[in-house]
Amino acid sequence: MTNPLFYAKIILFGEYGMIEDSQGLVVPYSFYKGTLKFSDLSSEFELKSNRHLQKYSEYLTTLDLSDDFKLDIGSFKNDISNGLFFDSNIPQGYGVGSSGALVAAIFEKYSISKLNPENISKNNLKKLKAVFGEMESYFHGKSSGMDPLICYMNLPILIENKENLDRVNIPEGEKGKGAIFLIDSGITGETGPMIQIFFEKMKTEGFRKTLKEEFIRYNNACIESFLKKDMNPFFRNLKKLSHWAYEHFRPMIPESIFNIWKKGLDSNAYYLKLCGSGGGGYILGFTKDYAKAEKMLEGFQKEVIYRF
């Protein structure tokens, strides 16, 4: 029997802000995926993955998960010794949830009480997010649990605040001139150090104030207008959000992206924002005219993820 596939995820809105109670909008991205498999571990990739799972299984034994969410670690360890590995094409350090997909796959296969993602109550979603947070902290030092939750549910999720989240419908994509797209910065990012920089910034009152009064306001307004497919206020707030990030998230913006970020703001041809914690990996782009933006971003690798 083949194990299910777990897709990557993209945080469209809410990176960093979710730590401070902003809304967030996270969607699955099926271009990248991973699944648990068995093999004789003859390739370097498979062997490395198997060894990672070995170390990770030791970490999981230290967690004190509630009865509803307990894992069968014995079976997991046994499968590892029989050649289990995580077969994935999700790039690591790109902000698209490589560790989230792995955590979701392990939970789905080894959780003792089986859940059905299609009818999980809002309350259980919250509990599951906390469990995933504990499981994923191994990879990042501290995790909200949001990435594995999205990968596990394979549905768009709206984070209303720290306490509440729910499934949500994304407006149907259509063949228009506009697009949401990914730009490859060409370097790998590391989540831990970026989050460290953010918490350092949070120690200054000025930054805390502008994050709460400006970033969160623009971020939440973008989510609201996007879900309503109200594109004029969407792009108006998106420009403010992109400009705010350019001013305040400088250390998180890869050097290769600085100039094109500013070019987008100056020309209004497209706007950029972080995809996850930044520092490298992918950057998100939004434009009303993709053909024009594509021309201006020549030389960068791009992937369209949504048309409108």
Q: Domain with 159 in it: what CATH number?
A: 3.30.230.10
Amino acid 23: pLDDT: 95
pTM, two decimals, is 0.85
The stretch 161-172 carries a mean pLDDT of 84
Q: Which two tokens stand for residue 124?
A: 């259980």
**Inside any domain, residue 277:** yes
In the predicted model, is pLDDT for residue 140 greater than 80? no
100 and 216 part of one domain: no
Contact between 8 and 28 (Cβ < 8 Å): yes
What confidence tens digit (pLDDT) does each residue in 190-225 have? 888 998 999 999 999 999 999 999 999 999 999 999
What confidence tens digit (pLDDT) does each residue in 210-265 have? 999 999 999 999 999 999 999 999 999 999 999 999 999 999 999 999 999 999 99
In the predicted model, is pLDDT for residue 163 greater than 90? no
The stretch 109-115 carries a mean pLDDT of 93
pLDDT classification of 124: cutoffs 50, 70, 90: confident
The stretch 62-74 carries a mean pLDDT of 94
Percent pLDDT > 70 in the chain is 100
292 and 223 part of one domain: yes
185 and 67 part of one domain: no
254 and 194 part of one domain: yes
**Does residue 274 or residue 147 have the better pLDDT?**
274
How many domains does the chain divide into?
Answer: 2
Helix (H, G, I), strand (E, B) or coil at 294: helix
In the predicted model, is pLDDT for residue 97 greater than 60? yes
**Inside any domain, residue 10:** yes
**Inside any domain, residue 149:** yes
Strands (E), 189-275: 271-274
pLDDT classification of 93: cutoffs 50, 70, 90: confident
**Inside any domain, residue 54:** yes
Amino acid 94: pLDDT: 85
**Does residue 78 or residue 94 have the better pLDDT?**
78
Report the distance separating Cα 77 and Cα 54, nearest Å: 7
97 and 200 part of one domain: no
Question: At which of 108, 133, 167 does a domain end?
Answer: 167
38 and 87 part of one domain: yes
Amino acid 144: pLDDT: 79
**Inside any domain, residue 173:** no
Residue 197: closest CA among 279, 93, 255: 279
154 and 15 part of one domain: yes
The stretch 132-155 carries a mean pLDDT of 88
**Inside any domain, residue 279:** yes
Lowest mean pLDDT among 45-59, 67-81, 119-133: 119-133
Question: At which of 115, 141, 167 does a domain end?
Answer: 167
The stretch 170-189 carries a mean pLDDT of 90
Amino acid 162: pLDDT: 76
In this structure, how many other beta carbons lie within 10 angstroms of the beta carbon of residue 81?
10
93 and 126 part of one domain: yes
Q: In 128-159, which positions are buried (b, 16+ CB within 10 angstroms) versus exposed (e)?
A: bbebbbbbbbbbbeebbbbbbbbbbbbbbbbb
Give the CA angle between residues 271, 192, 257 to the nearest 5°: 25
> Mean of the per-residue pLDDT values for the chain?
93
Residues in the chain: 308
Amino acid 118: pLDDT: 79
In the predicted model, is pLDDT for residue 1 greater than 60? no
Structural domain span for residue 126: 6-167
